[in-house]
Amino acid sequence: MTRKSVQAIRHIGFEDLGSFADPLREAGYDIEYIDVAERDPAGLDPLAADLLVVLGGPIGVYEHDAYPVVTDEIDLLRARLAADRPTLGICLGAQLMAAALGARVYPGPAKEIGWSALDLSDTAAPNPLAVLQDVPVLHWHGDTFDLPEGGTLLASTALCTNQAFSRGQNVLGLQFHPEVLGARFEHWLLGHANELATAGIDPVTLRRDAGRHASRLELASAALLTDWLARLTR
Protein backbone atom coordinates (compact mmCIF):
# COMPACT_ATOMS: atom_id res chain seq x y z
CA MET A 1 0.00 0.00 0.00
CA THR A 2 1.28 3.46 -0.91
CA ARG A 3 1.42 5.50 2.27
CA LYS A 4 -0.33 8.85 2.45
CA SER A 5 0.29 11.80 4.74
CA VAL A 6 -1.95 13.46 7.30
CA GLN A 7 -0.99 16.61 9.13
CA ALA A 8 -2.97 17.15 12.34
CA ILE A 9 -2.89 20.70 13.68
CA ARG A 10 -3.05 20.44 17.47
CA HIS A 11 -3.72 23.29 19.89
CA ILE A 12 -3.66 21.46 23.22
CA GLY A 13 -1.96 18.15 23.93
CA PHE A 14 -4.87 15.96 24.99
CA GLU A 15 -7.18 17.10 22.17
CA ASP A 16 -5.50 14.84 19.63
CA LEU A 17 -6.79 12.47 16.94
CA GLY A 18 -7.99 10.04 19.58
CA SER A 19 -10.12 7.27 18.10
CA PHE A 20 -9.41 8.58 14.60
CA ALA A 21 -5.72 7.64 14.76
CA ASP A 22 -6.09 3.89 14.19
CA PRO A 23 -8.53 4.18 11.24
CA LEU A 24 -6.16 6.67 9.62
CA ARG A 25 -3.20 4.33 9.95
CA GLU A 26 -5.28 1.40 8.71
CA ALA A 27 -6.25 3.49 5.65
CA GLY A 28 -2.56 4.00 4.85
CA TYR A 29 -1.88 7.41 6.44
CA ASP A 30 1.27 8.41 8.29
CA ILE A 31 0.38 10.92 11.02
CA GLU A 32 2.34 14.10 11.70
CA TYR A 33 1.20 16.39 14.50
CA ILE A 34 1.75 20.12 14.11
CA ASP A 35 1.69 21.62 17.62
CA VAL A 36 0.99 25.29 16.99
CA ALA A 37 2.50 26.39 20.30
CA GLU A 38 5.83 25.10 18.98
CA ARG A 39 5.56 25.29 15.19
CA ASP A 40 4.16 28.19 13.18
CA PRO A 41 1.46 26.90 10.78
CA ALA A 42 2.27 29.84 8.50
CA GLY A 43 5.32 27.84 7.43
CA LEU A 44 3.27 24.88 6.19
CA ASP A 45 2.56 24.20 2.54
CA PRO A 46 -1.26 24.29 2.53
CA LEU A 47 -1.49 21.73 -0.27
CA ALA A 48 1.26 19.30 0.73
CA ALA A 49 -0.53 16.82 3.00
CA ASP A 50 -2.91 14.29 1.52
CA LEU A 51 -5.22 15.12 4.42
CA LEU A 52 -5.24 18.06 6.82
CA VAL A 53 -7.03 17.71 10.16
CA VAL A 54 -7.50 20.76 12.37
CA LEU A 55 -8.26 19.75 15.95
CA GLY A 56 -10.02 21.44 18.86
CA GLY A 57 -8.77 23.93 21.39
CA PRO A 58 -9.85 26.41 24.09
CA ILE A 59 -9.55 29.63 22.07
CA GLY A 60 -11.99 31.49 19.83
CA VAL A 61 -11.66 32.23 16.13
CA TYR A 62 -12.38 35.90 16.87
CA GLU A 63 -9.48 36.09 19.39
CA HIS A 64 -6.93 36.73 16.67
CA ASP A 65 -5.35 39.68 18.49
CA ALA A 66 -4.68 37.60 21.60
CA TYR A 67 -3.75 34.48 19.62
CA PRO A 68 -2.22 35.42 16.22
CA VAL A 69 -2.00 31.75 15.26
CA VAL A 70 -5.73 31.97 14.47
CA THR A 71 -5.00 34.23 11.49
CA ASP A 72 -2.24 31.92 10.26
CA GLU A 73 -4.54 28.90 10.41
CA ILE A 74 -7.36 30.68 8.59
CA ASP A 75 -4.93 31.71 5.83
CA LEU A 76 -3.68 28.12 5.57
CA LEU A 77 -7.21 26.77 5.39
CA ARG A 78 -8.35 29.40 2.90
CA ALA A 79 -5.68 28.28 0.43
CA ARG A 80 -6.31 24.59 1.03
CA LEU A 81 -10.09 24.80 0.77
CA ALA A 82 -9.86 26.89 -2.38
CA ALA A 83 -8.01 23.95 -3.93
CA ASP A 84 -10.58 21.46 -2.56
CA ARG A 85 -7.90 19.41 -0.83
CA PRO A 86 -9.18 16.86 1.73
CA THR A 87 -9.71 18.69 5.02
CA LEU A 88 -11.35 17.71 8.31
CA GLY A 89 -12.06 20.10 11.18
CA ILE A 90 -13.13 19.23 14.72
CA CYS A 91 -14.68 21.84 17.05
CA LEU A 92 -12.26 24.80 16.82
CA GLY A 93 -11.06 23.25 13.57
CA ALA A 94 -14.56 23.35 12.11
CA GLN A 95 -14.95 26.96 13.25
CA LEU A 96 -11.65 27.90 11.58
CA MET A 97 -12.79 26.18 8.38
CA ALA A 98 -16.08 28.08 8.46
CA ALA A 99 -14.19 31.36 8.92
CA ALA A 100 -11.84 30.50 6.05
CA LEU A 101 -14.93 29.95 3.87
CA GLY A 102 -16.25 33.41 4.77
CA ALA A 103 -18.77 32.47 7.48
CA ARG A 104 -19.21 34.26 10.80
CA VAL A 105 -17.98 32.61 14.02
CA TYR A 106 -19.33 33.94 17.33
CA PRO A 107 -20.29 32.98 20.90
CA GLY A 108 -23.28 30.68 21.09
CA PRO A 109 -26.27 31.17 23.40
CA ALA A 110 -24.64 29.01 26.10
CA LYS A 111 -21.85 26.52 26.54
CA GLU A 112 -22.76 23.11 25.20
CA ILE A 113 -20.77 20.60 27.24
CA GLY A 114 -21.98 17.04 27.68
CA TRP A 115 -23.09 13.90 25.89
CA SER A 116 -26.14 13.83 23.62
CA ALA A 117 -27.19 12.55 20.21
CA LEU A 118 -27.32 14.67 17.07
CA ASP A 119 -30.33 15.53 14.96
CA LEU A 120 -29.12 14.41 11.53
CA SER A 121 -30.18 16.39 8.48
CA ASP A 122 -31.92 15.02 5.42
CA THR A 123 -29.41 15.50 2.62
CA ALA A 124 -29.59 14.91 -1.13
CA ALA A 125 -26.56 12.63 -0.99
CA PRO A 126 -26.09 10.04 1.79
CA ASN A 127 -25.31 11.85 5.04
CA PRO A 128 -21.72 10.93 6.03
CA LEU A 129 -22.78 11.06 9.68
CA ALA A 130 -25.51 8.44 9.28
CA VAL A 131 -23.57 5.95 11.41
CA LEU A 132 -23.96 8.36 14.35
CA GLN A 133 -27.76 8.13 14.31
CA ASP A 134 -28.91 7.90 17.95
CA VAL A 135 -25.30 7.69 19.21
CA PRO A 136 -24.55 10.18 22.02
CA VAL A 137 -21.50 12.26 21.08
CA LEU A 138 -19.38 14.62 23.16
CA HIS A 139 -20.17 18.33 22.90
CA TRP A 140 -17.63 20.75 24.34
CA HIS A 141 -17.86 24.27 22.94
CA GLY A 142 -19.15 27.76 23.62
CA ASP A 143 -18.89 29.21 20.11
CA THR A 144 -20.83 28.49 16.95
CA PHE A 145 -20.73 29.51 13.29
CA ASP A 146 -22.99 30.28 10.35
CA LEU A 147 -23.21 27.67 7.63
CA PRO A 148 -20.58 28.54 5.01
CA GLU A 149 -21.73 29.36 1.50
CA GLY A 150 -21.81 26.16 -0.52
CA GLY A 151 -21.87 24.04 2.62
CA THR A 152 -24.38 21.29 3.35
CA LEU A 153 -25.78 21.12 6.88
CA LEU A 154 -25.35 17.60 8.25
CA ALA A 155 -26.43 17.77 11.90
CA SER A 156 -27.88 20.02 14.60
CA THR A 157 -28.77 20.04 18.28
CA ALA A 158 -31.39 22.07 20.13
CA LEU A 159 -28.71 24.50 21.32
CA CYS A 160 -26.54 24.62 18.19
CA THR A 161 -28.05 24.57 14.71
CA ASN A 162 -24.78 24.10 12.82
CA GLN A 163 -23.18 21.02 14.34
CA ALA A 164 -21.60 19.69 11.15
CA PHE A 165 -21.22 20.60 7.50
CA SER A 166 -19.67 19.25 4.36
CA ARG A 167 -18.65 20.87 1.12
CA GLY A 168 -18.44 18.28 -1.59
CA GLN A 169 -16.66 15.02 -0.84
CA ASN A 170 -13.41 16.45 0.53
CA VAL A 171 -14.41 18.95 3.22
CA LEU A 172 -15.98 17.99 6.55
CA GLY A 173 -16.41 20.23 9.60
CA LEU A 174 -17.63 18.79 12.91
CA GLN A 175 -18.53 21.09 15.81
CA PHE A 176 -18.84 18.15 18.21
CA HIS A 177 -16.08 15.73 19.29
CA PRO A 178 -16.39 12.29 17.67
CA GLU A 179 -12.72 11.46 18.34
CA VAL A 180 -12.72 11.37 22.14
CA LEU A 181 -11.40 8.19 23.76
CA GLY A 182 -13.07 6.97 26.92
CA ALA A 183 -9.75 5.76 28.32
CA ARG A 184 -8.35 9.30 28.07
CA PHE A 185 -11.41 11.27 29.11
CA GLU A 186 -9.92 12.19 32.48
CA HIS A 187 -7.43 14.37 30.57
CA TRP A 188 -10.39 16.43 29.35
CA LEU A 189 -11.84 16.81 32.82
CA LEU A 190 -8.54 17.87 34.35
CA GLY A 191 -7.41 20.01 31.43
CA HIS A 192 -10.69 21.93 31.30
CA ALA A 193 -11.38 21.93 35.06
CA ASN A 194 -11.52 25.72 35.27
CA GLU A 195 -13.99 25.96 32.38
CA LEU A 196 -16.23 23.35 33.98
CA ALA A 197 -16.17 25.14 37.33
CA THR A 198 -16.92 28.51 35.74
CA ALA A 199 -19.82 27.04 33.75
CA GLY A 200 -21.18 25.17 36.78
CA ILE A 201 -20.90 21.80 35.04
CA ASP A 202 -20.38 18.70 37.19
CA PRO A 203 -17.35 16.60 36.15
CA VAL A 204 -18.81 13.60 37.96
CA THR A 205 -21.76 13.59 35.57
CA LEU A 206 -19.50 13.98 32.54
CA ARG A 207 -17.28 11.12 33.74
CA ARG A 208 -20.29 8.87 34.33
CA ASP A 209 -21.73 9.65 30.91
CA ALA A 210 -18.37 8.99 29.25
CA GLY A 211 -18.37 5.56 30.87
CA ARG A 212 -21.82 4.90 29.42
CA HIS A 213 -21.31 6.26 25.91
CA ALA A 214 -17.62 6.48 24.90
CA SER A 215 -17.14 2.89 23.73
CA ARG A 216 -20.13 3.07 21.39
CA LEU A 217 -18.97 6.42 20.05
CA GLU A 218 -15.47 5.08 19.39
CA LEU A 219 -16.84 2.29 17.19
CA ALA A 220 -19.25 4.55 15.32
CA SER A 221 -16.63 7.25 14.78
CA ALA A 222 -14.12 4.77 13.39
CA ALA A 223 -16.73 3.62 10.88
CA LEU A 224 -17.59 7.24 10.01
CA LEU A 225 -13.97 8.16 9.33
CA THR A 226 -13.18 4.99 7.39
CA ASP A 227 -16.15 5.57 5.09
CA TRP A 228 -15.33 9.27 4.60
CA LEU A 229 -11.70 8.53 3.77
CA ALA A 230 -12.79 5.99 1.17
CA ARG A 231 -14.94 8.61 -0.56
CA LEU A 232 -12.26 11.31 -0.85
CA THR A 233 -11.44 12.58 -4.31
CA ARG A 234 -7.82 13.65 -4.68
Which residues are part of the catalytic machinery?
Answer: 91, 177, 179
Distance CA 230, CA 222 (A): 12
Starting at the edge strand that comes first in sequence, how are the strands of the sheet with 152-156 ordered?
29-35, 4-10, 51-54, 87-90, 171-174, 164-167, 152-156, 119-120
- Closest to 105 measured CA to CA, from 80, 72, 141: 141
Say how many Å lie between the first and final Cα of the chain, rounded.
16
Distance CA 145, CA 173 (A): 11
Residues 6+ apart with CB under 8 A from 101: 78, 81, 148, 149, 150, 151, 167
Is the separation of the CB atoms in 73 and 36 below 8 Å? yes
- Closest to 145 measured CA to CA, from 100, 114, 188, 201: 100
